[in-house]
Amino acid sequence: MLAFMSTRDGNQQVYVMSVDGSNVRRVTPGMAAPASYGSVSWSRDGRLLATVYRPTRSDDLDNGLNVIEFISLRTDGREQQILYAGINGERPDASPTNDAIVFEQEHGPFQNNPPIDIYVVRPWRLSAQSLTHGDGEYIQAAWSPDGQKIAYACAKPKQQLQICVMNADGSDARVITRGAGSHQWPAWAPEGERLAYFVETQQDRSVDSSIGTVDVDGSNERLITAHSGVRRDETPSWSPNGRTIAFQTDRLGNGFRIAVMNVDGSGVRMLTR
């Protein structure tokens, strides 16, 4: 089963579907605007982990600050539980043992480009521990399959994002990609030895994105998707058996669709239309 975000019903919601693109169904119930749902990922117990955004102003004007809730829910939308609440947190990822959540948090209004750090929190606790140090942009954290490491995208001020890896306690942080462009969205292969990501560049004044892979020690960095013209292949996610990678793409034009491919970039198949 695949989980994804879509605006097909008018606003951003969480959906699931079978791996062949059939049986699409909405998981999240409607919420009164301006509250909205954000990113979605899987917990290791088969539940979904999603983000809810709520404005901090009573008049609903956007001041760049949002109350966020990380919620756990079943794939039928039932048994919603709030695991953590805070300000301007995003992209939660549950640990393999399901007893911790790693996420990113901005230190100020979104539109002011403040420093962004990675935090880890135990569900239902009030305080979170920072794993990075407020000196750059540290985002899109993801646990390794064994829970011993965290991959993330990192950049010092005025530098482009690269893929980084650190121990689960924040120690031994290191950069593992070196190529040109903005490297984002690290996703662990099930065996824990490789990462997929996408790299964003500017082509003809437009954004072009391709998906790549790299070994966790920084070797064998390479792009695996190829497309003609300017296209965006983004947000890779490995299948549990490690044989395929799902991703979003605008290859068909008019917005993003979900696609799946073999781990070498071949055999691309569209799952949504």
Interval 148-161: pLDDT, tens:
999 999 999 889 99
Task: Look at residue 33 and tell me whether its pLDDT is greater than 90.
Answer: no
Q: Average pLDDT of the chain?
A: 92
Task: Look at residue 64 and tell me whether its pLDDT is greater than 90.
Answer: no
Task: Look at residue 62 and tell me whether its pLDDT is greater than 90.
Answer: no
- Res 273: pLDDT: 80
Task: Look at residue 125 and tell me whether its pLDDT is greater than 70.
Answer: yes
Question: Looking at residues 4-24, what average pLDDT do you find?
Answer: 92
- Res 195: pLDDT: 98
Q: How confident is the model at residue 110 (pLDDT cuts 50, 70, 90)?
A: low
| Antiparallel, parallel or unpaired: β 13-17 and 25-26 | antiparallel
Q: Which segment of 30-34, 69-73, 166-170 scores lowest on mean pLDDT?
A: 30-34
| Antiparallel, parallel or unpaired: β 89-94 and 137-143 | unpaired
Q: Which amino acid is at 103?
A: F
Q: Are 162 and 153 in contact (CB under 8 A)?
A: yes
What pTM does this model have?
A: 0.93
- Res 27: pLDDT: 95
- Res 228: pLDDT: 77
- Res 92: pLDDT: 97
95: left (phi over 0), alpha (psi -120 to 50) or beta: beta
Question: Looking at residues 36-56, what average pLDDT do you find?
Answer: 92
| Antiparallel, parallel or unpaired: β 257-262 and 269-270 | antiparallel
- Res 229: pLDDT: 84
Q: How confident is the model at residue 34 (pLDDT cuts 50, 70, 90)?
A: confident
Residues 6+ apart with CB under 8 A from 145: 96, 188, 190, 191, 192
Of the two residues 107 and 236, the one the predictor is more confident about is 236
